[in-house]
């Protein structure tokens, strides 16, 4: 990760309005897919600036373009309008400072847990002994000690997702994009793992973007929450979460926490309702046509 | 022992398979003896068993077995190397693939064995004619399955590689190839079947070399028990190959 030290840290920590203060700046992204039913605007004029070390949660109804936005930022999709810059440098293709955890199952089935987690270190050319030791630490971090030599097929869905998280964390990216990493975990594991990820994020001052459907999780972890609209995916609102850090789990019971949750829920309900109606009318039309 | 325990034990399925084979052989023996099957067309299994010794001692079976194995192995190595390379090339160069994939598929189902006179002219009455015929018959499935395996690699796995900034060759060696390997091996197994059939078939046709020629000889002498005994050795060659590919696959990519 060469650019970690060289990334500019200029600007006041709180100034999200000045574009140059953002380690990651997304400027007017429009992404359109060609589908059999015609063009589909998945992401529409999304702009945001993420401060160094910030934890930004992204929340929005299913199909609103969250994953697509991440793929644009991660340099995995081309042919979009707008620009993404990392530390002032325009992104063309995957940027070495960005690490991603994907929504779909993404472990390598032909590698054991430890070989999966050590993968980015292997690519970085780190000696075998050293990378396996390091991988072990990250495996312990996600609570999978004892499973080092198992293959993904021998693990549960939630365990595989934790392997994928550990693999990305092992590369120690300056900017971490996580697409619903905790979706297939039970509530307790989700909380524990969320705490751990938050702790690493705070320790390493990692800039983190997290897609989630869980409002409580978003409020608990994030400095800001980006609420997106249903199709086309636009920025509906950016909510600054002004809760003290470090946040323990009892922050959940505070009055301010409840207010944030209620506020975001009402935004989201509006969009989700619109989404459901849209889906319903579409299936009705499809039914009438056939 | 209940059914589940039986399925789990390693010996039982093997024993069941061998037992079924033995039972089938006994049934054939019985059917011939009571006259349901004509004994001048199908020899008695017990006679075939007795013929083994004669075939082994008098017909230089070891040498023929080695020759057929060598021809099949050479052709098998060629279909693997050439098939995987061509598959890769076609996968990388889309236009080439669109232009040729149908032809390769057509070749896969064509009775290439009929081209043996042409190969005789080119390579003479030698082991190379046989090897090349085996190669031509076995290479299409390897090409097709290589393309299928590479194209079928899950998008997200490629994205993982890209997000870790893998170079093109790294992406291929560390992700595309291992992901495609099981499918590629299906192609190789399929190709080996065609190769072996053609190797033995052409040996038979051009009356040259190993087990195929022996089968031809024995059949012409109307030594039916001997013919069937020789066929058993062909089956042995095929068993050798399947064990070998399984080993290689496990070594390249342990379990799934
Ligand atoms: N490669 C593609 N081709 C065509 N349409 C696509 C493609 N990828 C995504 N889309 C469409 O773009 C829209 C946004 O998809 P996206 O995966 O970004 O949603 P999402 O917000 O991540 O949803 P979820 O919360 O369910 O994961 C969807 O309507 C989807 O059908
Ligand atoms: Mg998504």
What does the pLDDT look like over B131-189, one tens digit per residue? 999 999 999 999 999 999 999 999 999 999 999 999 999 999 999 999 999 999 999 99
Q: Does A70 touch chain B (CB under 8 A)?
A: no
Q: DSSP for chain A?
A: -GGGTTS---S-TT--SSGGG-SEEEEEEEEEEEETTEEEEEEEEEEEEE-TT-EEEEE--TTSSHHHHHHHHTT---S-EEEEEETTEEP-S--TTEEEE-SS----TTS-HHHHHTHHHHHTT--HHHHHHHHHHHHHHTT-TT-TT--GGGS-HHHHHHHHHHHHHHT--SEEEEESTTTTS-HHHHHHHHHHHHHHHHHHT-EEEEE-S-HHHHHHH-SEEEEE-SSSB-EEEEEE----SS--GGGGGSHHHHHHHHHHHHHHHHHHHHHHHHHHHHHHHHHHH-
User: Ligand 1: which residue has its CA nearest to atom 31?
Assistant: A63
Query: Which of A67, A78, A109, A126 should we substitute to test contact with B (largest number of B Cβ atoms within 10 Å)?
Result: A109
Residue B78: predicted pLDDT: 96
Rg (CA), chain A: 19
Q: Quick check: A105 and B163 CB within 8 A? A: no
Query: Which of A110, A116, A126 should we substitute to test contact with B (largest number of B Cβ atoms within 10 Å)?
Result: A110
Q: How far apart are the CA of A66 and the centre of ligand 1, in A?
A: 8
Residue A256: predicted pLDDT: 86
Sort A263 into a burial class: Cβ within 10 Å, 0-12 / 13-18 / 19+: middle
Dist CA A147 CA A115 (whole Å): 11
> Average pLDDT for residues A224-247, to the nearest whole number?
87
Residue B254: predicted pLDDT: 54
Q: With cut-offs at 50, 70 and 90, classify the pLDDT of residue A171.
A: very high
Q: Does B175 touch chain A (CB under 8 A)?
A: yes
Residue B179: predicted pLDDT: 94
CATH fold label, A1-94+209-264: Rossmann fold (3.40.50)
| Chain A, window 80-119: residues with a beta carbon less than 8 angstroms from a chain B beta carbon | 93-94, 96, 98-100, 102, 104-106, 108-110, 119
Residue B101: predicted pLDDT: 84
Residue-averaged pLDDT of chain A = 86
Q: Does A186 touch chain B (CB under 8 A)?
A: no
Q: Does A241 touch chain B (CB under 8 A)?
A: no
Residues of A in contact with B255 (CB under 8 A): 151, 153
Question: A36-50, A191-205, B11-25, B112-126: which has the minimum mean pLDDT?
Answer: A191-205
Give the nearest partner residue to B166 out of A100, A102, A123, using CB atoms: A123
Residue A174: predicted pLDDT: 93
User: Ligand 1: which residue has its CA nearest to atom 22?
Assistant: A67
Q: What is the ipTM of this complex?
A: 0.86
Query: What's the whole-model pTM score?
Result: 0.82
> Average pLDDT for residues A261-271, to the nearest whole number?
87
Q: How far apart are the CA of B155 and the centre of ligand 1, in A?
A: 14
Give the nearest partner residue to A94 out of B163, B170, B256, using CB atoms: B163
Strand pairing category for A81-86 and A224-228? unpaired
Dist CA A264 CA B66 (whole Å): 76
CATH number for region B60-252:
1.10.3720.10
Q: Is the pLDDT of residue B127 over 50?
A: yes
Residue A70: predicted pLDDT: 95
Top-ranked range on mean pLDDT: pick from B36-40, B93-97, B158-162: B158-162
Nearest C-alpha of chain B: how many angstroms from A121? 10
Q: Quick check: A99 and B165 CB within 8 A? A: no
Q: Which residue has the tokens 């969009």?
A: A271
Contact yes or no for B140/B107 (Cβ under 8 A) = yes
Token representation of residue B195 = 């190769």
Dist CA B155 CA B161 (whole Å): 10
Residue B6: predicted pLDDT: 67
- Annotated domain spans of chain B: 1-42, 60-252
Nearest C-alpha of chain B: how many angstroms from A117? 12
Q: Does A151 touch chain B (CB under 8 A)?
A: yes
| Between A116 and A271, residue with greater pLDDT | A116
> Average pLDDT for residues A181-210, to the nearest whole number?
85
Token representation of residue A47 = 């702009």
| Between B197 and A10, residue with greater pLDDT | B197
Q: Is the pLDDT of residue A67 over 90?
A: yes
Residue A14: predicted pLDDT: 39
Residue B35: predicted pLDDT: 87
| Chain A, window 160-179: residues with a beta carbon less than 8 angstroms from a chain B beta carbon | 167-168, 171
Q: Quick check: B178 and A100 CB within 8 A? A: no
The pLDDT tens digits of the residues spanning A110-156 come to 999 999 999 999 999 999 999 999 999 999 988 899 999 999 999 98
- Annotated domain spans of chain A: 1-94+209-264
Q: Is the pLDDT of residue A168 over 90?
A: yes
Token representation of residue B197 = 């059939």
Residue A286: predicted pLDDT: 65
> Average pLDDT for residues A251-272, to the nearest whole number?
86
Residues with CB under 6 A from ligand 1: A 33, 35, 40, 42, 60, 62-68, 103
Contact yes or no for A87/A25 (Cβ under 8 A) = no
Residue B14: predicted pLDDT: 86
Q: Does A2 touch chain B (CB under 8 A)?
A: no
Distances in whole angstroms, Cα of residue A247 to Cα of each of A181, A206, A244, B65:
20, 17, 6, 75
Q: Quick check: A109 and B256 CB within 8 A? A: yes
The atom of ligand 1 lying closest to the CA of A43 is: 14
Q: DSSP for B33-84?
A: HTTSS-TTTS--HHHHHHHHHHHHHHTTHHHHHHHHHHHHHHHHHHHHHHHH
User: Ligand 1: which residue has its CA nearest to atom 12?
Assistant: A42
> Average pLDDT for residues B12-20, to the nearest whole number?
89
Q: Is the pLDDT of residue A9 over 50?
A: no
Check the CA dihedral B147-B153-B159-B163 and report its sign.
negative
Dist CA A222 CA A225 (whole Å): 7
Dist CA B188 CA B196 (whole Å): 12
């Amino acid at each position: 990760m060469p650019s970690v030290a060289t990334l500019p840290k200029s600007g006041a920590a709180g100034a999200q309005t000045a574009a140059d203060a953002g380690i990651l700046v997304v400027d007017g992204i429009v992404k359109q897919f060609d589908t059999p039913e015609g063009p589909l605007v998945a992401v529409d004029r999304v702009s945001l600036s993420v401060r160094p070390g910030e934890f930004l949660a992204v929340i929005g109804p299913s199909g609103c373009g969250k994953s697509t936005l991440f793929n644009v930022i991660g340099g995995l999709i081309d042919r979009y309008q707008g620009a993404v810059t990392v530390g002032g440098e325009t992104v063309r293709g995957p940027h070495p400072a960005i690490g991603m955890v994907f929504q779909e199952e993404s472990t390598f089935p032909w590698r054991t847990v430890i070989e999966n987690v050590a993968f980015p270190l292997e690519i970085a050319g780190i000696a075998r002994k050293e990378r396996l030791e390091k991988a072990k630490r990250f495996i312990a971090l996600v609570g999978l000690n004892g499973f080092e030599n198992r293959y993904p097929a021998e693990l549960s869905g939630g365990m595989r997702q934790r392997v994928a998280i550990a693999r990305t964390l092992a590369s120690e990216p300056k900017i971490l994009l996580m697409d619903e990493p905790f979706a297939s975990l039970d509530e307790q594991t989700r909380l524990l793992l969320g705490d751990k990820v938050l702790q690493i994020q705070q320790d390493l001052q990692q800039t983190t973007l997290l897609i989630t459907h869980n409002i409580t999780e978003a409020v608990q972890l994030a400095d800001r929450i980006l609420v997106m609209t249903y199709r086309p995916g636009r920025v509906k609102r950016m909510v600054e979460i002004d809760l003290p850090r470090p946040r323990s789990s009892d922050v959940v019971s505070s009055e301010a926490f409840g207010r944030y949750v209620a506020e975001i829920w009402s935004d989201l309900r509006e969009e989700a309702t619109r989404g459901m109606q849209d889906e319903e009318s579409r299936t009705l039309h499809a039914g009438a046509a056939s | 022992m209940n059914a589940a325990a039986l399925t789990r034990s390693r010996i039982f399925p093997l024993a069941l398979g061998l037992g079924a084979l033995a039972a089938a052989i006994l049934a054939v023996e019985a059917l011939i003896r009571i006259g349901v099957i004509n004994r001048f067309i199908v020899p008695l299994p017990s006679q075939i068993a007795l013929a083994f010794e004669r075939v082994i001692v008098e017909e230089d079976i070891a040498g023929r077995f080695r020759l057929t194995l060598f021809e099949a192995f050479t052709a098998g190595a060629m279909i693997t190397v050439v098939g995987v390379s061509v598959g890769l090339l076609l996968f990388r160069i889309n236009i080439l693939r669109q232009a040729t994939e149908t032809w390769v598929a057509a070749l896969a189902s064509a009775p290439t064995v009929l081209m043996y006179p042409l190969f005789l002219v080119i390579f003479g009455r030698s082991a190379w004619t046989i090897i090349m015929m085996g190669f031509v018959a076995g290479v299409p499935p390897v090409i097709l399955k290589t393309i299928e395996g590479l194209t079928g690699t899950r998008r997200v796995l490629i994205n993982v590689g890209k997000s870790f900034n893998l170079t093109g060759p790294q992406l291929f060696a560390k992700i595309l190839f291992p992901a495609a390997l099981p499918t590629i091996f299906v192609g190789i197994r399929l190709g080996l079947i065609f190769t072996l059939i053609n190797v033995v078939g052409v040996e038979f046709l051009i009356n040259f070399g190993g087990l195929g020629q022996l089968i031809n000889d024995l059949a012409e002498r109307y030594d039916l028990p001997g013919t069937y005994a020789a066929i058993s050795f062909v089956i042995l060659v095929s068993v050798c190959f399947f064990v070998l590919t399984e080993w290689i696959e496990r070594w390249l990519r342990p379990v799934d």
